[in-house]
């Protein structure tokens, strides 16, 4: 049975979707952009500030599901400009240790709210692994 994950510590969904869905210990997190949960506005400070906020938002959603960033097995990064890849990669790498999650990074023409980066992850709760 799938269960919606919801936390006020991360931005509310900006459309008809859940922050995450948990199914049999697997957590499928919707993409997070650099929105401040308290204001609902995109953080200022460019790609670095947005990426840091994205990672914090993902951490909060995973926490609400009883998981951690260390439980992430797959990530997808969406960038509006691949020139930001190195900055995003540097900040992303601060949050993960080996073995790193599998990952894809793609450039897109636009993201919601004018964001420059969006990241979605799939995690498996450690306690759910036999």
What pLDDT shows up at residue 126?
Answer: 76
Burial of 82 (0-12, 13-18, 19+ CB in 10 A): exposed
Confidence of residue 129 (pLDDT cuts 50, 70, 90): very low
Class of CATH domain 3-128? alpha beta
Q: What percent of the chain has pLDDT over 70?
A: 97
Tell me 25's DSSP state.
T
65-122 pLDDT, tens digit per residue, is 999 999 999 999 999 999 999 999 999 999 999 999 999 999 999 999 999 999 999 9
Residue 130 in this model has a pLDDT that exceeds 90: no
d(Cα 116, Cα 77) in Å, to the nearest integer? 11
- 55 with 92: CB under 8 angstroms? yes
What pLDDT shows up at residue 15?
Answer: 87
14-55 pLDDT, tens digit per residue, is 889 999 999 999 999 999 999 999 999 999 999 999 999 999
Domain ranges of the chain: 3-128
What pLDDT shows up at residue 40?
Answer: 93
What pLDDT shows up at residue 128?
Answer: 52
Q: Looking at per-residue confidence, does 126 or 39 come out higher?
A: 39
């Amino acid at each position: 049975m799938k269960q919606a994950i919801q936390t006020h510590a991360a931005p509310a969904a900006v459309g008809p979707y859940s922050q995450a869905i948990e199914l049999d210990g697997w957590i499928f997190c919707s993409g997070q952009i650099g929105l401040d949960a308290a204001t609902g506005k995109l953080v200022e400070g460019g790609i670095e500030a947005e990426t840091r906020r994205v990672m914090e938002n993902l951490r909060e959603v995973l926490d609400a599901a009883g998981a951690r960033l260390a439980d992430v097995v797959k990530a997808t990064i969406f960038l509006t400009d691949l020139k930001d890849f190195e900055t995003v990669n540097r900040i992303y790498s601060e949050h993960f240790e080996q073995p790193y999650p599998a990952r894809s990074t793609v450039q897109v023409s636009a993201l919601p709210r004018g964001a420059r980066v969006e990241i979605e992850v799939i995690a498996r709760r450690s306690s759910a692994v036999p």
